[in-house]
């Protein structure tokens, strides 16, 4: 086949395609304009937002103080010997230690005595109430903790 015929055929097809696409051009899409009422509803003044935030903080502060007062005796580490401290367990970071203490599990022996299912349920319940951690421990985490606590006791 002659290369000149191939090139001419290609140019003709390309020209037809461009002509077709040029005829299909539509109006550019414009975004709908919101009315002035809708614009006013969406605007939040910084001073109003700060006043609302401060009002919420004032109502939350007494609750936090009460929780801290109640948690101090439970989480005092002076009562537990060093070998019974939950920080000695592998995989228990600071947030999970705080969560375990809030749930009433202050020692390794208390974790070893618990069943993984009840401990996990209690930790989820306490975390939902106090929001200590964004990601609560999984069931496998709790099972590992209980197993590690039992092996440490033996």
Q: What is the distance between the alpha carbons of residues 134 and 121, in angstroms, rounded to a whole number?
A: 16
Identify which of 20, 81, 106 has the alpha carbon closest to the alpha carbon of residue 114. 106
Distance (Å, rounded) from C-alpha 65 to C-alpha 83? 31
Q: Residue 63: which pLDDT band, with cuts at 50, 70 and 90?
A: low
For the chain, give the mean pLDDT.
Answer: 78
**pLDDT bucket at 140, cuts 50 / 70 / 90:** very high
31 pLDDT above the threshold of 90: no
pLDDT > 90: percent of the chain: 29
Cα–Cα distance for residue pair 99/88, rounded to 1 Å: 15
Q: What mean pLDDT is predicted for residues 109-138?
A: 91
Cα separations (Å) of 49 from 37, 53, 55? Answer: 20, 6, 10
pTM score over 0.85? no
Cβ-contact 92, 137 below 8 angstroms: no
Residue 105 and residue 39: Cα distance in Å, rounded?
A: 53
* pLDDT of 74 strictly over 60: no
Q: Which residue has the higher pLDDT, 74 or 119?
A: 119
pLDDT(109) > 50: yes
pLDDT of residue 85: 82
Domains, the chain, with CATH or none: 65-153 (1.10.150)
Residue 93 has pLDDT above 80, yes or no: yes
Buried b (16+ CB within 10 A) or exposed e, 79-100: ebeeebebeebeebeeebbbbb
Determine the pLDDT at residue 72: 42
* Mean pLDDT computed over 112-127: 92
CB atoms within 10 A of CB 19: 10
């Amino acid at each position: 086949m002659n290369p000149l015929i191939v090139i001419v055929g290609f140019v003709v097809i390309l020209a037809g395609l461009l002509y077709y696409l040029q005829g299909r051009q539509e109006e550019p899409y414009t975004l709908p304009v919101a009315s002035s009422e809708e614009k006013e509803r969406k605007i939040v003044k910084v001073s109003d937002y700060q006043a609302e935030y401060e009002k919420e903080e004032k109502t939350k502060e007494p609750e936090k103080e009460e929780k801290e007062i109640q948690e101090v005796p439970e989480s005092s580490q002076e009562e537990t010997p060093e070998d019974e401290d939950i920080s000695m367990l592998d995989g228990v970071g600071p947030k999970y230690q705080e969560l375990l203490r809030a749930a009433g599990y202050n020692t390794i022996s208390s974790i070893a005595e618990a069943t993984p299912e009840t401990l996990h349920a209690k930790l989820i319940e306490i975390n939902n109430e106090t929001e200590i951690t964004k990601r609560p421990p999984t069931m496998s985490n709790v099972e590992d903790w209980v197993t590690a606590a039992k092996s440490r006791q033996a």
